Structure 1
Amino acid sequence: MSAIFQKIILFSLIPVFTMVTGGIAAIYKKPNGNIRSLILHFAAGVVFSVVAVELLPDIVKQHKPLQIIIGFCLGLIAMLLIKKFAESREDQDVKVIESKLPLSLLVGIGVDIFIDGLLLGIGFSAGTKEGMLLAIALSVELLSLGMATAIELGQNKLPKQKSITIIALLSIIFFTSAVLGATLLHNLSDSAMEVVLSFGLSALLFLVTEELLIEAHEEKEAVWHTAAFFTGFLVFLILGMII
């Protein structure tokens, strides 16, 4: 095993740890509605910043509009179908109040985490320093996403053990995609990578606008909630500039 591959594995475990830790903390000490809204706003800001700082520059740089259209439309269609499927299941189980799985939200977060892992794996190829800083930035993002996921699972009255399992599985997705980014997908053609990144771009925008912010706005809006969104955006923006 090469030294760079060992570093990728080591540093990809940091975001995994922060996501699981944040999720477990939110599960066992459930935040009130105000804190819940703050966390969801912050997570939305961080994800939106990932789109602006990490994905868009790489996508625009390639100048491949056809691949962008294909990937973006596939991402939108996939998320709409998942949301439709989740809503139809909720309609069928309308009498069952507890243990509802927020499928579209989980898929959106899963796509986000998968793309993040790819970026980390590919980022280490640009240099060890860049990869380490990206791992730190992603740790902040996954910490907020882990807490946001735990909060939403709690809102849907899932058992604590099941919620922990779901968060652990999501963190494994990140680790797996980081390994893929460092090995298989690192050798993808520019056109294929453009489709993958555009798919992720669409899915992440859907996650922010149709899931995280909608859930966050269930609470009475306050100026601190809005500020949390922009704080999340600014944190990842600054970390992206450092990288």
Structure 2
Amino acid sequence: MTATLSKVFTYAAMPAIAVLVGALISLIRQPGAGLRSAVQHFAAGTVFSVLAVELLPDLMHRHLPWPTFIGFTLGVAFMLLLKWFGDRNTDETEGRSTRGLLTAMGVDVALDGALIGLSFAAGEKQGLLLTVGLVLELLFLGVSCGTSLRGAGRSSPRVAGTAALLGIILLAGAGVGAAALASVSPVYVDALLAFGVAALLYLVTEELLVEAHEAPETPVQTAMFFLGFILLFMIDMLV
């Protein structure tokens, strides 16, 4: 357990640092819409690759249909509830409130951390590949966090402190995910993994790709999704 927990925290530290780096980048210069779209396409491709190549086949091989169905359904319900909460804190004239936005981000990073911990149910390689995909997603979450806080008049130290707190929440989530993996029966592990798969599918289809499509796209930006997919696929084959 100690060795596994150490590996989980090592992997989770990468996206935790990415959140802080993204926030610091937003203080210096905000990335343009084209670059954001390209990176979000790429991140979506990498996460989808991990789902298609590693996590979904692992669930199939476990042959536990009902725990998978229940976990997946709960995962979808949770993400829709999170979306409802975010929309509830949106004002037509002022945009989403800072408090509501930060709460949603906190839940998001905690869930991402837990998914890193739970991905070890499929193997260490799967955990590493998922981490690579989440690093890019959380980099731009940090950019979004910094941009929103600066727009609300927060100081640079406040922005950096908030991003660091989000990183700590992610590490805590990873610890919870690893602890759950070590302490529950295989049936519950299967349900938790299915929950994570649903959350990642939602992340790709309803967050990363939706945001990537907000700006006019070029074929190069669209191709970044497939580049991210095939790169993770090739890494998986070679490792």
State the TM bucket, normalised to the shorter chain: 0.7 to 0.9
Match of residue 141 from structure 2: 149
| Number of matched pairs | 233
Match of residue 35 from structure 1: 35
**Larger mean Cα displacement after TM superposition, 153-162 or 81-90:** 153-162
Unmatched runs of 5 consecutive residues or more in structure 2: none
Per-residue deviation at 1:71? Answer: 0.8
Match of residue 214 from structure 2: 218
* Preserved contact between residue 114 and residue 177 of structure 2 (Cα < 8 Å): no
* Preserved contact between residue 48 and residue 201 of structure 2 (Cα < 8 Å): yes
Instruction: Decide whether aligned partners of structure 1 residues 104 and 5 sit closer, same or farther in structure 2, where only a CA change above 3 A counts.
Output: closer
Q: Give the alignment of 1:130-169 within 5 angstroms.
A: 130=124, 134-135=127-128, 137-153=129-145, 156=148, 157=151, 159=154, 161=157, 163-169=159-165
Q: Give the alignment of 1:1-243 within 5 angstroms.
A: 6=6, 8-90=8-90, 93-97=91-95, 100=98, 101=101, 107-108=107-108, 110-120=110-120, 122=121, 130=124, 134-135=127-128, 137-153=129-145, 156=148, 157=151, 159=154, 161=157, 163-243=159-239
Q: Name the amino acid aligned to 1:229.
A: F
Equivalent residue of 2:89, what SS?
Answer: helix
Q: For the residues of structure 2 that align with 1:236 and 1:56, how far apart are their CA atoms?
A: 15
Q: For the residues of structure 1 that align with 2:172 and 2:210, how far apart are their CA atoms?
A: 29
* Preserved contact between residue 42 and residue 224 of structure 2 (Cα < 8 Å): yes
TM-score, normalisation: structure 2? 0.79
Unmatched runs of 5 consecutive residues or more in structure 1: none
Equivalent residue of 2:196, what SS?
Answer: helix
Equivalent residue of 1:221, what SS?
Answer: coil
**Larger mean Cα displacement after TM superposition, 5-14 or 71-80:** 5-14
What's the % identity of the aligned pairs?
Answer: 36
**Aligned-residue CA RMSD in angstroms?**
3.1
Q: For the residues of structure 2 that align with 1:5 and 1:105, how far apart are their CA atoms?
A: 24
Q: For the residues of structure 2 that align with 1:78 and 1:24, how far apart are their CA atoms?
A: 30
Q: For the residues of structure 2 that align with 1:68 and 1:57, how far apart are their CA atoms?
A: 12
